[in-house]
Chains A and B, each alone.
Chain A
Amino acid sequence: MNRAASHVKTIAKRELSSYFASPVAYVFLVIFLLLNGFFTFTAGQFFERGEASLAAFFGWHPWLYLVLVPAVGMRLWSEERRSGTLELLLTLPISPWEAILGKFLASWIFLALALALTFPVVITVNWLGEPDNGQILAGYFGSLMLAGVYLAITCMTSALTRNQVIAFILSVAACLFLILAGFNPVTDLFTRWASPAVVETIAAFSVVTHYDGFQKGVIDSRDLLFFASVIGFALFATAVILRNRRSA
């Protein structure tokens, strides 16, 4: 077990340092922060709301991550395939799980870092009023879990192909589905021809439904379980894909 942990750590370390080896990481961080600022203060009408909360900030994350998270994760396995290093990695005396976990964790840590760099909005809102900081913390936690869900799905699609662009498009499509399943305009559409029970079931698969709970400051174990199982399922699918498509 100790050995497995050491493998996961070594792979994660390598992956993380490869993010920062190119300017792409910094460009990403800047874009991430700029977009967050734009959506919160302009599109989210942070000031006009007149309330001391980060609802405007967190509310946009499902949409913001839709593009940004696949952009971070698309290279994870595609690049290994394209450059042939997949052959090195999978002939090392490690279980494929260790590689999958190491790579996933590295990108998740990178996204956590990006998210942590948004701390000025927390300071701003605390300076302007008296927000519920527990709720904000729960919001950050939910946001990180949401990023993890998108990232795990991107892992899976990037294991499918050596082409990063295809991986990107597939993961955006899959994540979009997870949003739309519970997006009100879409569920309203469904209610016209499906029974409420069906609509309910579909909505239960939506990340938005579960994400909203965190934004209300509630960490519900069912929401947590949902996020954890989507991540688990997507990573499991990654392992299956890697086992069955070695030389694509």
Chain B
Amino acid sequence: MIRIENLTKSFGAKNAVDNVSFSVERGEVLGFLGPNGAGKSTTMRMITGFLPPTAGSVSVGGFDVVEAPLEAKRLIGYLPESAPSYPDMSVRGFLAFAAEMRGLHGDAGKRAVARVVDLCFLSSVLHQSIDTLSKGYRHRTCLAQALIHDPEVLVLDEPTDGLDPNQKHEVRNLIRDMGRSKAVIFSTHILEEVDAACTRAIIIDRGRIVANGTPAELRAKSEIAGAITLQLAGAPDAAAKLAALPCARKVETLGAQLRAYPKDAAAAAELARSVIELVSREGWKLEALHTEEGQLDEVFRRITLPDTVKR
């Protein structure tokens, strides 16, 4: 549904987005990660046709965003980063406006408003003026606007920003459910959301894609992925014996626990087998043992440069 090819956007001499290519199909929820200033919002603004690309192309549902903007935009629901809305309008008035602009008049419009009010839990503030809403409700009002025409493609820039934990949970579930029948791309700084809602994630840094894969694949890039953590009663020589295993790279002592790292990603399964063999051969008393899955935040830190590093 969304196809991005060699997309580049420069502001002056700086490339905010640098030769990015990826695509999102129906039934996919793509998590868009990256440090501040990585180019997430800029990419989304090009997908939705707000900013023209400097080079490269974006097509949505087969329509080029630059060549056939109206057809492409009709398919998209967009939540911009700042969740803007008209402060002097009521929530209902604003949603009715959005519905009308999407060609939903009369009863169809009323039904569409009722549907998104339900989805985004806005019924309690329906008649309130937007400038008196709390930040979270303003955010949800703008999200509701993006869903009003039940679009096939959703582009959500930090949809859970400013929401309370319950609402974050609801919105994640909403995104995951909608992802079954739509193509969804959303950006976030909350790594748990990748597991909670995404089928795939892309990490970009300084305008370039540095990782692209399923949450499990990304986690596997973690240094700790596949490591075996175990807790033994006694066995003072365990650390040395574990380190001597051919498939172990190193062994760490963490208080009462030992952690053996595999030589490489392929050696993870072999390491687990040999650790267990070793434990039973030596007759060590095993109190706990588990395989580390890898941590997204560690992967994220390792493959992106922090914003504070001079560019």
Contacts and interface: CB of A to CB of B under 8 A. Distances in A.
Interface of A: 3, 6-7, 10-11, 14, 17-18, 21-22, 83-85, 87-88, 90-95, 246-247
A81 to B, nearest CB: 10
Interface string B122-147: 00000000000000000000100100
Nearest to B94: A14
Contacts of B76: 91
A7 B101 CA distance: 6
Nearest to B90: A21
Contacts of B253: none
Given A14-B89, A91-B78, A93-B74, A85 B50 contact: no
Interface stretch (B80-88, B193-201, B244-252): B80-88
B97 A10 contact: yes
B147 to A, nearest CB: 14
Nearest to A96: B69
A90 B102 contact: no
A14 B82 CA distance: 21
A18 B45 contact: no
Interface string B57-92: 000000000000111011010101010111111000
Contact of A87 (B50, B52, B69, B86): B50
B49 interface: yes
Given A3-B103, A10-B100, A246-B51, A21 B84 contact: no
Chain B: interface residue count, which band?
20 to 34
B48 interface: yes
B70 A83 contact: no
Given A10-B97, A93-B70, A88 B80 contact: yes
Contacts of A85: 84-86
A65 to B, nearest CB: 25
A59 B254 CA distance: 89
Contact of A95 (B50, B70, B103): B70
Contact of A92 (B84, B93, B101): B101
A17 B96 CA distance: 14
Nearest to B85: A85
A239 to B, nearest CB: 14
B46 to A, nearest CB: 10
Nearest to B73: A93
B84 A90 contact: no
A22 to B, nearest CB: 6
